Amino acid sequence: MNDKDRLKGTTTVAITCKDGVVFATETRATMGNLIAHKVADKIFKIDDHIGATIAGAVSDAQSLMKYISAEVALYKLRNGEKISIESAAALASNILHSSRFYPFFVQTLIGGIDDTGAKVYSLDPTGGMIEDKFISTGSGSPVAYGVLEDRYNDDLYVEEGVDIAIRAIKSAMERDAFSGNSVLVATITEDEGFKKLSNEEVEKKIKDIT
């Protein structure tokens, strides 16, 4: 196993809202007590209406995202329509489960919005698949969950969800040594599809909520 396989430690968050989904992560990748990278991108666009976050071994996470993206694109090509969020999560689950004896060392959040509304799913390395209204993974997730449990409600819109997701990530960065450096945020709505916020937009929101 090379160094890149061992890079890990992170905090990721996914939140369902009335009009879409919010993803947020920090950008630190660690190797033991070494901060190996400060600008690791942990949010991936799977399709215009689907996104994912990763926590765990970088090489495994990148490979898994390529597999899922390719299969989702093939589904659209063969069927002439977009795959549902549940089906995309089930597809990812099947990929993970089929590799359970040589597992991908990752925790994945996958979600988006379709005809049934906004959904997010948590996937473990062996293919376990659980839907929830908000989810956090990674080493800083216990801290992030404290914020999510306190502030989440069923009437949130994406704009409010972004503020809560940033608060959750920032709290984790304050207490978890494996999470840090900066915050990444992406949203998925019916009107705009998958959209990553710029660094300037994120920094402005951080200033507004602190």
The CATH class given to the 3-209 domain equals: alpha beta
Q: What residue segments make up the domains of the chain, in order of their start?
A: 3-209
pLDDT tops 60 at residue 4: no
Tell me how far apart the alpha carbons of residues 182 and 168 are, in angstroms, rounded to a whole number. 13
pLDDT per residue over 171-195, tens digit each?
Answer: 999 998 889 899 999 999 999 999 9
* Count of C-beta atoms within a 10 Å radius of residue 33: 8
Tell me how far apart the alpha carbons of residues 56 and 31 are, in angstroms, rounded to a whole number. 11
Classify 85 in phi/psi space as left (phi over 0), alpha (psi -120 to 50) or beta: alpha
Tallying the residues shown for the chain, one arrives at: 210
pLDDT of res. 10:
87
10 is a catalytic site residue: yes
pLDDT per residue over 64-123, tens digit each?
Answer: 999 999 999 999 999 999 999 999 999 999 999 999 888 888 999 999 999 999 999 999
Q: Characterize 65-82 residue by residue with b for buried, 16 or more Cβ atoms within 10 angstroms of its Cβ, and e for exposed.
A: bebbbebbeebeeeeeeb
- Percent of the chain scoring above 90 in pLDDT: 75
- Percent of the chain scoring above 70 in pLDDT: 95
Q: State which amino acid sits at residue 201.
A: E
For the CA atoms of the chain, what is the radius of gyration?
Answer: 16
pLDDT per residue over 155-164, tens digit each?
Answer: 999 999 999 9
Beta-bridged to residue 109, according to DSSP, are: 53, 122
Catalytic hit among 10, 11, 12, 30 = 10
Q: Are 121 and 15 in contact (CB under 8 A)?
A: no
Give the mean pLDDT of the chain: 91
pLDDT tops 80 at residue 3: no
pLDDT per residue over 30-48, tens digit each?
Answer: 877 788 888 889 999 999 9
Sign of CA dihedral 44, 47, 64, 89: positive
